[in-house]
Amino acid sequence: MTGVTLVLVIIPVLFMGATLPILTQYFAPRLMNVGRSVGLLYSINTFGSAVACFVGAFGLMHLLGMQNSIRVAAAINVLVGVIGLCLSFRRSRQYQAALTDDHPISEVRGAFSGKQKTNLLFACLVSTLVGYVSLSYEVIWFRAFLIGTNQSQAFAMVLGAYLGGLAVGSWWVGSYFATKPGKMQLLYMLCVVILLSSVIGFSVLPLSAKAASLGGLKAFVLITLLLVFAQTVISGIAFPLLCHVGFTADARAGLHLSLVYFSNILGSAGGTLITGFILMDRISTPQISAFLTALSAVAAAAVARLVPASWSRRTTFIMLSSIVVAVGSPFAIKALFNHYYEQIISINRIGSAPPFADVVENKSGVVTVDTDGVVYGNGMYDGIAYVDLINRENGLTRPFSLTLYHPRPREVLMIGLGAGAWAQVIVNNPEVERLTVIEINPGYRSVIAKYPAVMTILTNPKVEIIIDDGRRWMNRHPDRKFDAIVQNTTFNFRPNATNVLSAEYLRLSGSHLREGGVLMYNTTGSNRAQRTGCTIFPYALREFNLMVASNEPLQLDLGRLKAVLENYSIDGHRVFDLSNPRHRARLAEIMAMVDPSGTDGSEATLETCQSIKSRTQDLLLITDDNMGEEWQRFSIRTIPRGIISMFHNLWNH
């Protein structure tokens, strides 16, 4: 499946990648200026992409859904292609005549000298390194922004700011080439651009984190996007500069541009693969930032060797290099990134939360745990490493109530491991013989191993933990059937939450249930998610914010649940000490809450689908296409309040 997807993606992007070289081949000989041609074309191209990011994030996806947004993009592509064909038929004769008269082929296709080859090779190598650093920064910026905002628009916003900066930078340098500066001047400018962009790139994360701590979410959003934009404005100057230095505006301009462009894209792909899949599993985000800064210094030094600069310029270069080295030093990392995750995650934490006692970073995300045992997955509350119904409930009534809906859940599938509390409760259910847990982030295992209340699930012989995407795993194992599927689903508005809330996913889960099997999944208060569950399954109800659904009628048995709870033990310790009046009162309270004879309705603990459908009749079902609650409107209008708050707090400090 992965190979098929890659092929389907590669085919259209091959044609997309051909557009810039073709346009360069058309314009460069006419303007007789590589830097100006590439700068203007690259600027227009990236500006259009930046606009598409914001239009898609704040308009198309919300209004039209995924498939219709794709159709709009395809229609625009067809329109551009038709216009291009019309222009080509109309101007082909004039262009051929102009090319023959003004720039004879025999003159522009002379021998490719050794010096020209060296220049082109130099441009390709530096372009590769610059592309690697740029996209690596984009990867870590996006993750930080996603953790801080937990909005589906996060990727589009960061990418839009990134591309917008490239557009402005390349536009400016394209205009600059109209003065026809000398090659040495351009090389010196390239040195400064690479060094300056690395310093700003390194500062994006600590400065945006500081903005989050002082001004909240809105300040964090604006400062991050402004810093990304500022850094890529400078980076946008580099590509046209390299092209102008690397080759001339002759009949080979398109070919040579394609080589430099290919090198840049190759480096960019390396940034996403090496940084995103290798470095993130081995070193921390601050260390990756320092590594990228050091690489930029290497690239600048390589350029500097070609520049016979004056003493003043050499001094400037040495000073900038010293700043880059200082920025990437361990001392600077410790100072700038102190309590970094506390600052950006403070946006989504409750009250005056304590500092983090543990931080686990890998390519799948960031798991943090504060000193109270509260676990945050990618910046949002994920549970507590605690299993106590008496002193700290943590919503554990829901997994404890499994026996209310199924008489003997011998084999259970759990989608998402999280803090481990739900898995600990389920596997210690006396009726459960086997628990299969599918978790996409292996970092949770290392967190759980440090907390006595949940650590035994890692060694429990009844538990099998598989690192995979839950939906993919179910698609690949259609023969696996379970008595119960349990998932403490994350907040419904978070990116990718639709993957485990949509109608398509619920049908897939239903196909993995045995006769009488139940699906229990958290809706986190989403009325659409509750309506979707009641529509897809013939039998369902809501317990608190948990939907319980089945293909067969639900047979609730309070007596069965009470008998199990009275004897429930976790790691040999009784959940309820029936000799303790407080424990008996708590057990009676829980039994009253899940009593199906209680009042039906949205305020009740248990609610029937008849009531749910009645109060949600105007809501659409969640599907893979509309992506449910994810594309809710992000209020940009409130950002100025965050900025004012940030400066107010900064002044008070």
Q: How far apart are CA 338 and CA 435, in angstroms?
A: 40
Backbone angles phi, psi at 633, to 5 degrees: -70, 130
- Residue spans per domain, the chain: 16-104+114-340, 387-615
Question: Which of 106-110, 160-164, 483-487 is the least confident region?
Answer: 106-110
Average pLDDT over residues 331-350: 79
**What pLDDT shows up at residue 217?**
85
pLDDT in tens, 553-607: 998 999 999 999 999 999 989 999 999 999 999 999 999 988 887 767 778 889 9
Categorize the per-residue pLDDT at 103 as very low, low, confident or very high, splitting at 50, 70 and 90: very low
Tell me 388's DSSP state.
B
User: Would you say 463 and 427 are in contact if contact means Cβ atoms under 8 Å apart?
Assistant: yes
- At 214 the pLDDT is 84
Higher pLDDT, 570 or 28: 570
d(Cα 513, Cα 293) in Å, to the nearest integer? 52
- Rounded CA-CA distance 355/360 in Å is 14
Q: 387-615, what's its fold?
A: Rossmann fold (3.40.50)
pLDDT at 407 over 60: yes
Distance of alpha carbon 261 from alpha carbon 367, whole angstroms: 37
- For residue 348, name the pLDDT band (cuts at 50, 70, 90): low
Task: Return the closest-CA partner of residue 590 out of 523, 546, 553, 543.
Answer: 543
Q: How far apart are CA 61 and CA 239, in angstroms?
A: 32
What mean pLDDT do residues 363-390 have?
90
Give the integer Cα–Cα distance in Å for 636 and 149. Answer: 13
Return d(Cα 296, Cα 267) in angstroms, integer. 13
Does the pLDDT at position 349 exceed 70?
A: no
Q: Which of 85-89, 178-182, 195-199 has the highest mean pLDDT?
A: 195-199
Torsion over CA: 625, 626, 631, 633 (sign) = positive
Residues in the chain, how many?
Answer: 653
Average pLDDT of the residues of the chain: 86
- Residue written as token pair 């249930």: 513
Q: Is the pLDDT of residue 192 over 90?
A: no
* Cα distances (angstroms) measured from residue 298 to each of 135, 286, 329, 330: 17, 19, 15, 18
Look up the pTM and report it: 0.87
Q: What is the pLDDT of residue 475?
A: 96
Q: How many CB atoms lie within 10 A of CB 381?
A: 17
Average pLDDT rounded to a whole number, residues 249-258: 84
**Over residues 193-208, mean pLDDT:** 91
DSSP 8-state code for residue 373: -
- pLDDT above 90 (res 6): no
Contacts of 556 (CB under 8 A, 6+ apart): 404, 405, 596
The stretches of 150-252 forming alpha helices (DSSP H) are: 154-176, 183-246
Contact by Cβ (8 Å): 477, 513: no
pLDDT for res 107: 44
The single-letter code of the amino acid at 76 is I
- In sequence order, what are the beta bridge partners of 513? 482
Q: What is the DSSP string of 480-542?
A: --EEEEEE----TTSTTGGGGTSHHHHHHHHTTEEEEEEEEEE-TT-HHHHHHHHHHSSEEEE
CA distance 649 to 528: 39
Tell me which of 112 and 215 has the higher pLDDT.
215
pLDDT band at 314 (very low <50, low <70, confident <90, very high): low
pLDDT for 405: 95
User: Which of these ranges, 16-25, 432-441, 517-526, has the smallest mean pLDDT?
Assistant: 16-25
Predicted local distance difference test score (pLDDT) of residue 104: 45
- State the CATH architecture for 16-104+114-340: Up-down Bundle (1.20)
Please indicate whether the domains covering 16-104+114-340 and 387-615 agree at the CATH topology level.
Answer: no
Can you tell me the distance from the alpha carbon of 291 to that of 279, in angstroms, rounded to the nearest whole number? 10
Closest CA to 450 of 348, 363, 346, 359: 359
Q: What's the confidence (pLDDT) of residue 165?
A: 95
pLDDT at 516: 94
Please tell me the predicted confidence (pLDDT) of residue 114. Answer: 75
- Residue 350: pLDDT band by 50, 70, 90 thresholds? very low
pLDDT tens column, 410-434: 999 999 999 999 999 999 999 999 9
Q: Reply yes or no on whether the pLDDT at 30 is more than 90.
A: no
* Residue 633 pLDDT exceeds 80: no
Residue-wise burial string across 148-173, b where 16 or more C-beta atoms lie within 10 A, e elsewhere: bbbbbbbbbbbbbbbbbbbbbbbbeb
Torsion sign across C-alpha atoms 426, 427, 433, 437 = positive
Tell whether the model's pLDDT for residue 635 goes beyond 60.
no
Region 504-521 average pLDDT: 97
- Identify the band that residue 128 occupies on the pLDDT scale cut at 50, 70 and 90: very high
Helix-then-strand count for the chain, H and E: 24, 14
Beta strand 513-522 with 546-550: parallel, antiparallel or unpaired?
Answer: antiparallel
Phi first, then psi: give them for residue 30, nearest 5 degrees.
Answer: -75, -40
Pick the closest to residue 36 from 168, 153, 172 (CA basis): 172
Per-residue pLDDT for 646 more than 60? Answer: no
